Chain A
Amino acid sequence: MSYAGPLLMKWFGGGEKPRPRETAPAGAASRLSRRSTGLAEFTRLLSDKESASVLDLGPTSPANISFLTGFGGRVCNEDIVHASREPRYLVKQPDGSLLLDPRKFFAENLSQPEEQFDAVLCWDVADYLTEPLVKPLVERLSHLLKPKGVLLAFFHTKEAGPESPPARYHIISGEVLDLEPRHDLRLQRVFNNRHVENLFKGFSSLKFFLARDNVREVLAIR
């Protein structure tokens, strides 16, 4: 009977579904692994730079710090989405509503001197930030990047839901990412190609890579 079980389930279409490839580091069985063309290109450009200093805007990831310090330079980590949720940056508007004040926010975050970084890992931060922060953030990043510095950003192409789950990104190798599901974020908006071009209009070049998991990868060069 125990052998017939799976067979019967298959006949009735209830057999095991093909599962996405899962990597299984300790305590993170639900992580998904996928190839990233944008990251591969980012790594290629970064490896041309000597002692590259990199800014990572995602949550602290030991894997990312491990990988990025391998380039011999400095790695800076600022979880921008986490910081943007702190109530002390909210300012009361005349109508009584609370809105995040970008000036207050950037006085305490990303306050490094200009032209500090060879590269920025922006991940999908722009999709989850509140509206008043998105443009100032990209402007700030363009100032923080050195000339010819490279920025990698991800944009979801589908509305919030099971097709565009929020994730933490962990770099496994120069072209492979682990996606760790997050349950504390909700997509704020979906950028189309024109929105993205407008957002990065201060940059000298943009490259788009469309991934299969409804994510558009964008590589911007200052």
Chain B
Amino acid sequence: MWKRPDDKPQTSSPASQPAAGTAPAGAGNSGAAARDTRSPEISKTGDPFRHDVAAHIGKSVLVKGELSGSEDLYLDGEVEGTIELRDHSLVIGPNGRIRANVTAREVVVHGRVEGNVNASERAELKKSCVLIGDVSTQRIVIEDGAFFKGSVDLKKDPKAEQRKPAPAAGQSVAGGSSNAAPQSSLLEHKS
């Protein structure tokens, strides 16, 4: 019966939440968005390439041994062994079950991985992801809800290191005050 004017701001604030939740200002997404202006949905997911262009391994496929390639790969099946894509991107789909060490330029995990992930540029753990192993990368995105057991080792960008005059400057972040902001540029934060 009584409308409380205080209710209005509360109802309007959740309206802004979807935007914050789905579109983190990750630097890694900007490249994908620039490449494909026709399908904003793809860039929203943070996948670094278009699924219709990349090689695709379906959910009924089981690979045992070494899986290597020189193109982007969408992997929704099962792999036991090693995966090596060096300069290319790997997306492990929601049905993907990997028991392998993974090496690629960019790795996006929706499914389950048991093994170490070495992503030379960027790793992204989606909310449905289960990753048991160590991650070594330059930048990492972890969505809230992702399960991760292992260690994160953030490597410094060698190009950025070359640009710096003093190599010890990177350590000064930790040496600041207790409120010192961490090196947020290394790690994109999604929730």
Tell whether A pairs with B. Answer: yes
Residues of A within 8 A of B (CB): 1-6, 16, 24-29, 40, 43-44, 46-52, 60, 62-63, 65-72, 74-79, 83, 173-175
The residue from A50, A68, A74, A175 contacting B179, defined by CB atoms under 8 A apart? A175
- Contact A67 B182, beta carbon cutoff 8 Å: yes
Looking at chain B, what size class is its interface with the partner chain?
35 or more
- Contact A6 B187, beta carbon cutoff 8 Å: no
Task: Please count the residue pairs between chain A and chain B whose beta carbons lie under 8 angstroms apart in the complex.
Answer: 121
Interface residues of B in 158-191 (CB under 8 A from A): 170-171, 173-184, 186-187, 189-191
Smallest Cβ-Cβ distance to A82: which chain B residue = B147
The residue from B6, B17, B175, B182 contacting A16, defined by CB atoms under 8 A apart? B6
Report 30 cross-chain contacts, Cβ distance below 8 Å, ordered by A residue.
A1-B2, A2-B3, A2-B4, A4-B2, A25-B191, A26-B17, A26-B18, A26-B21, A26-B191, A47-B176, A50-B171, A60-B148, A63-B191, A65-B152, A66-B189, A67-B182, A69-B182, A69-B186, A70-B174, A70-B187, A72-B170, A72-B173, A72-B174, A72-B183, A77-B150, A173-B179, A174-B177, A174-B179, A175-B178, A175-B179
The residue from A2, A48, A75 contacting B152, defined by CB atoms under 8 A apart? A75
Known A62-B143, A69-B183; 5 more pairs at CB < 8 Å: A1-B1, A28-B191, A62-B144, A75-B151, A79-B147
- Contact B189 A62, beta carbon cutoff 8 Å: yes
Given contacts A2-B2, A5-B4, A78-B149, contact A27 B179 (CB under 8 A): no
Smallest Cβ-Cβ distance to A51: which chain B residue = B171
- Contact B140 A65, beta carbon cutoff 8 Å: yes
- Contact A6 B4, beta carbon cutoff 8 Å: yes
Per the bound structure, the CA–CA distance linking A70 and B154 in Å amounts to 9
